[in-house]
A and B are shown apart, each in its own frame.
Chain A
């Protein structure tokens, strides 16, 4: 099987703070990490590669610094890494991003399986996976928690709004993975990090890929951010005090005042 896994470098949003006075994001000191959903996608992709044999290529689009998430992916076990990096890609929305990724995946030759994280934690859109599937004309399986190959068919357990489904599709197919609650990301040991440096790694710019340059980056993006601002500030909370009976009385009053009773 020829497997491609898409990964993204993201600011660790769990560390993002907002300046309460200016209402702006405080970026200083926020580490960049591999999007956790993508790391799970990679580990699922590697499991399939163990099962079927073949090659797993990891691909990312981003600034030159995003090389670090490719190197991490290689250390975790990917065979080959490609970073799409070019000023022309900057400012891409989900449509332009999925188009650019699709053209790069096409350049690699036909993939049997493309695995993406469900969404990136800095944007939470979950749109790049289905967009990529559309551009590659592949069927898509979103919200997958577990994948396996059964008699040449990809079988996935996926989340639906109030339950799960088992679905099947013949490769080539694209899957987006959501992390199950018991997922513990691998931390590769130093020896593997060193070995990763010897694995094939390439950087591709717009000129290296056969694509329509009007569909890239800012100019190829139908949506744009008009304005960003802090969410409405919550008033400081009130701490209720007293014995448990007194607290319950206060809670009942609050529930009545807020019209829940």
Chain B
């Protein structure tokens, strides 16, 4: 419970910090109200260490849990999704620091040819489960198999990409084995042998460092395109552990009737692209986003858009950046004709470099842009496309 000690001076810094308005200063001392959620935001800002959050600490021997595991997501075309390679690269670092093994969990049908590639990105062991029932992702089947593996081998860390599949799967596993899970991390490190998980919260307005120190495995989903992919290494192929499982047909309770891919295979996904060229309502001309698409093509970029563009039926939702679309963090986000509603900003403001073009000098998009251009995008974009073409000798 949150306690206010004698050291409280009633300075009121905690009152301003509390995201829930749960602290009042009464008679020169902070008083915690019933709507306190114990989020601990106040504990850290108190200059007098007068707010104390007591937590029961159990002494458990967790040394038997060893190994950093990464869930491998396989694309429809049978390749490893880049988000999983990013996790292997990060996992390689974490495993080294812990002096533990980096292991890949690979489920599917006819996917054994991928194990060599997993080895080149640091995996020394691959837990391989091949079954016709695992050819396509299914929550019940995948969760059951992975829960079995975790229970049998006891890893210390399990990482999943924060894709639609990872975010469907990981919480199911966490709730089954009753361990912690941190969502959509943008940073991972080892501190005193524990996994420190960093993630944005409150719509990206604050960052939080999260621990799950008393439970194993420590689990996290990790935002795609944030962790760099390592240079492939030469070395022996990873050891393959073949796991034979029986999947009861009654286990699979949700059936896929139909699947529609918005894009042809090969079209860059916005959450995996290094460069996104994005357009809003202001960039739509004759029901198309043509200038954006042309610029994206010469830059080798993915095409993003705002919600308004999806509403107008100009682009499918898989291209939408923002609160009800995707959160992206490319190296470059070049955005035109988006005024910058907060719902759009939360989806892209963690991009490394943002270039914004808009005819309204007061558009909020300029508050997050490293480079801003106040001007007519219909004049600038074609010239920019032409200039890049010339630079690249296209």
A residues adjacent to B (C-beta < 8 A)? 11, 13-14, 16-19, 22, 24-28, 30, 62-65, 87, 90-91, 93-95, 98-99, 121-131, 133-135, 139-143, 155, 159-170, 173, 178-182, 217-219, 221-231, 234-235, 237-241, 244-245, 247-249, 251-252, 254-256, 258, 260-261
Contact = CB atoms under 8 A, between A and B. Distances in A.
Interface stretch (B84-92, B98-106, B202-210): B202-210
Contacts of B325: 181
Contacts of A160: 164-165, 259
B366 interface: yes
Contact of B366 (A19, A133, A164, A237): A237
Given A87-B34, A162-B261, A255-B388, 15 more contacts: A18-B206, A27-B16, A63-B20, A63-B22, A63-B34, A123-B201, A124-B183, A130-B139, A130-B172, A134-B175, A163-B260, A173-B254, A229-B209, A235-B370, A251-B373
Given A142-B168, A168-B254, A95 B38 contact: no
Given A160-B259, A163-B262, A248-B387, A14 B179 contact: no
A228 B205 CA distance: 10
Contacts of A63: 20, 22, 33-37
Contacts of B112: none
Interface residues of B, number: 113
23 contacts: A17-B205, A24-B17, A25-B202, A27-B15, A27-B16, A62-B35, A63-B35, A130-B172, A131-B175, A140-B172, A142-B168, A143-B168, A161-B269, A162-B262, A165-B259, A227-B209, A228-B41, A228-B44, A229-B44, A230-B206, A241-B374, A252-B384, A254-B371
A16 B175 CA distance: 31
Given A27-B19, A218-B55, A226-B196, A168 B257 contact: yes
Given A143-B164, A161-B164, A223 B41 contact: no
A71 B228 CA distance: 47
B37 A24 contact: no
A95 B211 contact: no
Contact of B55 (A142, A180, A219): A219
8 shortest interchain CB distances as A-B pairs: A91-B38, A63-B35, A222-B180, A139-B253, A223-B180, A134-B175, A13-B203, A125-B183
Q: Which of A142, A241, A254 has the most B CB atoms < 10 Å from its CB?
A: A142
Interface of B: 1, 13, 15-22, 33-41, 44-45, 53, 55-56, 139-140, 163-165, 167-168, 170-172, 174-176, 178-184, 196, 200-212, 214-215, 253-263, 267, 269, 271, 275, 299, 307, 310-311, 316-318, 320, 323-325, 331-332, 342-343, 346, 350, 353, 355, 366-376, 379-380, 383-384, 387-388, 391-392
B311 A90 contact: no
Contacts of B299: 260
A180 B13 CA distance: 39
Contacts of A142: 139, 164, 167-168
B254 A234 contact: no
B324 A181 contact: yes
A140 B33 CA distance: 36
Given A11-B202, A161-B163, A226-B210, A247 B380 contact: yes
A238 B368 CA distance: 11
Contacts of A249: 387
Contact of A181 (B45, B310, B355): B310
A30 B203 CA distance: 14
Contacts, number: 316
A227 B208 contact: yes
Given A87-B34, A130-B175, A224-B210, A25 B205 contact: yes
A167 B256 contact: yes
Contacts of A165: 256-260
Contacts of B16: 19, 24, 26-28
A24 B207 contact: no
Nearest to B374: A239
B369 A237 contact: yes
A247 B379 CA distance: 11
- Most chain B CB neighbours (cut-off 10 Å) among A131, A162, A163: A162
Contacts of B38: 90-91, 217-218
B355 A254 contact: yes
Nearest to A123: B201
Output the residue of A26, A160, A219 with the most chain B CB within 10 A: A160
A122 B257 contact: no
Contacts of B184: 124-125
Nearest to B309: A181
Contact of B387 (A17, A162, A252): A252
A181 B371 CA distance: 29
Contacts of B353: 258
Contact of B370 (A87, A226, A237): A237
Contacts of B331: 260
B214 to A, nearest CB: 7
Nearest to B262: A163
A22 B13 contact: yes
Contact of A25 (B176, B206, B257, B366): B206
A38 to B, nearest CB: 13
